[in-house]
Structure formats: structure tokens, C-alpha cells
Amino acid sequence: MKDNYDRPRTPDAMERMADTLGLSIEAEYNADLVSRRQLDRAVERCHLCADPDGCDVWLEDHAGGSRVAPSLCPNKPLFDHLRDGW
């Protein structure tokens, strides 16, 4: 198991999105399915999101879960790959 101190701190919205999609960023990272570099870039994309309010609304509307990330999410491709496998 990896030392989670090495894992970048992910924004709350990114963690909520992963949870809504049935994914665990920590588990994916520990299983080497996503690299530190990929997570660093994903964190940056989340911080630079053009529609954080839209993200919050989408997350509230899909509190029961969803299989697909919204198109407004800058990390949709990453979440899709984590869901479907590389």
C-alpha cells in the first residue's frame, strides 16, 4: 500500500464527484490505476473549473449516484477511464 502522504490533496468537489460515480480516488491511486502526475493534473483542472456552481448543482441532483460524469466536468475523461478501465 502506498503512503497516502504522497497522494495530492484532492478538492472536495473532485472527491464528491468520484463518490457519486462509485469511484474511490484513494483506491485507484493505491492500485496504481492513476498516477501521482495524473492526480496532480486532475486537481489543477478541478481548481480551474469554469463552472463550479454547475458542478455543485449536478452533484446535488445526482446525490443518489450516477454512472457517467457530466460533460461540464474537466475531469470527465479521467473519471470515464477509471470507470471503464484503461
Residue 24 resides in a domain = yes
Phi first, then psi, for residue 37 (nearest 5°) are: -65, -45
Q: What is the pLDDT of residue 11?
A: 85
Q: pLDDT band for position 23 (50/70/90)?
A: very high
Residue 53: which domain range? 12-84
Which residue matches cell numbers 475531469? 75
Residue 25 resides in a domain = yes
Number of structural domains found in the chain: 1
Q: Residue 81 CB: number of other CB atoms within 10 A?
A: 14
Q: Taking a C-beta distance cutoff of 8 angstroms, is the pair 10, 43 a contact?
A: yes
Confidence (pTM): 0.84
Q: Residue 24 CB: number of other CB atoms within 10 A?
A: 14
Q: What is the pLDDT of residue 86?
A: 62
Query: For residue 60, what is its C-alpha cell?
Result: 446535488
Element containing residue 45 per DSSP (H, E): helix 36-47
